[in-house]
Structure 1
């Protein structure tokens, strides 16, 4: 039995920085069954945003005329080269982490799948490891409904390994992952159909956001099928057929991407050998400090169900680091959820939606401005989308905001900072902002607040 001061299962965006931090105080065992760096580095943020950038170059090549630029016909996407560029970026990030681990004498890396023997004992390959403090950072994976097991499906992992463009990509699921892949592969040259079970895309967003995003994608000739409550799928040779709602409609394609949700990877850990409590979906139950019900065992990152983003995983690391080595002042409940949808133009989101704010009983005021009224957006030729902020009528503080439009994923951070500072929206409204920018119109937007009933 090898003994360490700390044991971390998984090298994602919470596990790696925690390993380096704890290595300053003691010995650390870091277990990884796949590639170092977790989802973000290998199959998430890094590779997909590389593809988004390539897709944008394709879009630019077909929209020169409207900006007075004559671009000769013949532009095409070379998926092998796009993939090669992606892999350079992924390998650079991964190699950097691996080199740093190898240089740290207090971190021992074990490659293999971790299995619990008991609460504080882990086996990996033929090695048994123990520590008084254990941190579980095993992440999540794509959910595969049973009815798709009989066809050659793709997930966010496999689609990034394609060397040839799909002739027709069918995407099951109209949420964040499906929409990003849908737009990028349409821009690369594939025919794309998105099939959604409800009556709108990303239905956790407000209706005006969902509708605007659907219009953006449909304007690029992406087909969207709503209300697909019953889906039957079959495959003959290389052709995959999807029947929607019985005999209503049948769609045939060359590839099918499943983007219907995520599952935590806790099922591989043999949790049954421990006292750790998981919920019905397999997420580990944790308190405000990422602690499980077993003393000294923490769950961080996607597997605790408290966030599904790189930035929430990293914040879990910060919370745990502060709990173990600091003042125990950082908590999950203190963070304000923010995220992006990285289609083009992107969506930046922070805090509550209008529907959530109303459900919680807030008296709200709404500020709204269409992007086609923003001078810099018009000059850039990027007028799709809008800005919207939700204000608490009593405290005058932001409850939430969304920026759907050019630069929205970056602009949202200004409102994020103000929300954490718990300052009135008037601080932003009355500030002087750089001209000419897209964000300078946020103060103008905030001069015209309306109640939800006046919208």
Structure 2
């Protein structure tokens, strides 16, 4: 397998989820592997994304849980919250996972190089130290970063990267954007006591998710006190004498806040990687163009994960890395199936979905049947909380094959993971109807919809 004329069989740029999986599995297949990572092993998900954010979501949810506990007979005193304790413990967990990822790579024989790397040719890489190495194959797994608008005063804003490192919970925060990152952090900061305002250039939140589900989240969020300003384009940020930030926007009056957070999308990390020197093509967003095998237009160079701008989800990057390693080094040609990839928004409450939305199904199939369960979870009833959950199942009008399942409610993501298997397998509504309900649960609504 190894080729003596190269220093490595595989050189990976970026040790995030996709790059780490590709490196580990390739090394297990017998390849000589090196991984260049200029920051920390683990990438966005582990260091500044999914993992620490989900821990903040758990921490924030205790605000509601502690209040609800009184209705369940618990004598809960007024509780204070310490942001530093939460973030300190989160950082400890991040450190633990970072070490675990590092150990996994080293155990499988992959060399970790803590330097920035850039391409100088189809098989050539130059490190920040000036060292040059060669590799039979090069895998670009450099991920993506938050997009920052170019409005005047943008330097006063933060992104999700910096949100974990704030000294305290802002008293007033404005979040620009309406995607999953914006709505997740809006829920976190609101539950922890901040006054939250979201602004968005369009009149919708969570574009791409089922309309009825996202409208329910908007309704619940507004009832809780979150503020939304739609059709609002950033015009500028000015710092006031007292340190406050005055934000100007189109179609709305200016607003003063203590923190501005940009959650306006993510940009592939392809700048200064030497792609031009190697002849690698990118699309209009700067993402590496790849085929079904994650191969770029240069035969020796591949790319996986967010840098390709296919589906920016950690499990997808991991599957792409696995498929690359098995195909190139494992003699097991594998391609990732992007059909029916489940997704979740860890808002308050959670949203989750898999497959087609109602509008997508109608456009493609014409005749569809939609089954809905709109209910108040048992826990919310006793807690005196009026929040309602909403589950939807979209089926083909002729065959009753399930085309999509979408839901909003407590633990929606946990429930959807199992249901996603059914959609992926091509089951029909009849299979759910024939399954006995697990009572009393919220999940039983999936098999009771009429």
TM-score under structure 1 length normalisation: 0.92
* CA contact 1:345–1:384 (8 Å) conserved in 2: no
Aligned residues: 442
Higher RCO (CA 8 Å, separation ≥ 6 residues)? 2
User: Is contact 1:83-1:163 (8 Å) kept?
Assistant: no
The CA RMSD over aligned residues, in Å, is 2.0
1:120 aligns with 2:123: yes
**Rounded Cα–Cα distance in structure 2 between residues aligned with 1:359 and 1:290:** 30
Q: Which runs of 5+ in 2 are unaligned?
A: none
CA shift for structure 1 position 282: 0.6
Render the CA deviation track for 1:39-72: whole Å, top value 9, x for unaligned: 0100011110111111011222233344343422
From 38, 56, 63, give the equivalent of 1:58: 63
Cα gap change, 1:411/1:194 in structure 2, threshold over 3 Å: closer, same or farther?
Answer: same
Deviations 1:239-273 (A, max 9, x none): 11112325x31110011000011000011312111
Q: Unaligned stretches of 5+ in structure 1?
A: 449-455
Conservation of the 8 A alpha-carbon contact between 2:154 and 2:236: no
Q: Which whole-Å deviations, capped at 9, do the CAs of 1:168-211 have from their partners, x for residues lacking one? A: 11101121111111111111121111112211211222322222
CA distance, structure 2, for counterparts of residue 329 and residue 4 of structure 1: 21
Matched, 1:363 2:367: yes
Deviation (angstroms), 1:113: 1.3
Deviation string 1:15-42 (CA, Å, 9 cap, x unpaired) is 1122111112121010101111000100
2:91 is the alignment partner of 1:93: no
Which of 67, 74, 80 is the aligned partner of 2:72?
67
In 1, Cα distance between equivalents of 2:381 and 2:393: 21
Q: 1:196 aligns with which of 195, 200, 222?
A: 200
- Residue 109 (1) aligns with residue 112 (2): yes
Q: How does 1:312-391 map to 2 (within 5 A)?
A: 312-326=316-330, 330-372=334-376, 378=381, 383-391=387-395
The aligned residue for residue 263 of structure 1 is 267
Q: Deviations over 1:115-137 (max 9, x none)?
A: 11112111112111211111111
Picking from 186, 204, 222, the partner of 2:190 is: 186
In the other structure, the counterpart of 1:77 is 81
* Structure-2 separation of matches of 1:285 and 1:395: 37
Query: Given the alignment, which residue of 268, 283, 295 partners 1:291?
Result: 295
Contact 1:364/1:390, CA 8 A, preserved across alignment: yes
For residue 448 of structure 2, give the secondary structure of its aligned residue in structure 1: helix
Q: SS in structure 1 opposite 2:134?
A: strand
Q: Equivalents in 1 of 2:204, 2:235: separation in Å?
A: 17
Q: What's the counterpart of residue 28 of structure 1?
A: 33
CA distance in 2, matches of 1:157, 1:109: 24
Partner secondary structure for residue 147 of structure 1: coil
Aligned to 2:254: 250
Name the residue aligned to 1:168: 172
> Could you tell me whether the CA contact under 8 Å between 1:377 and 1:438 is conserved in 2?
no
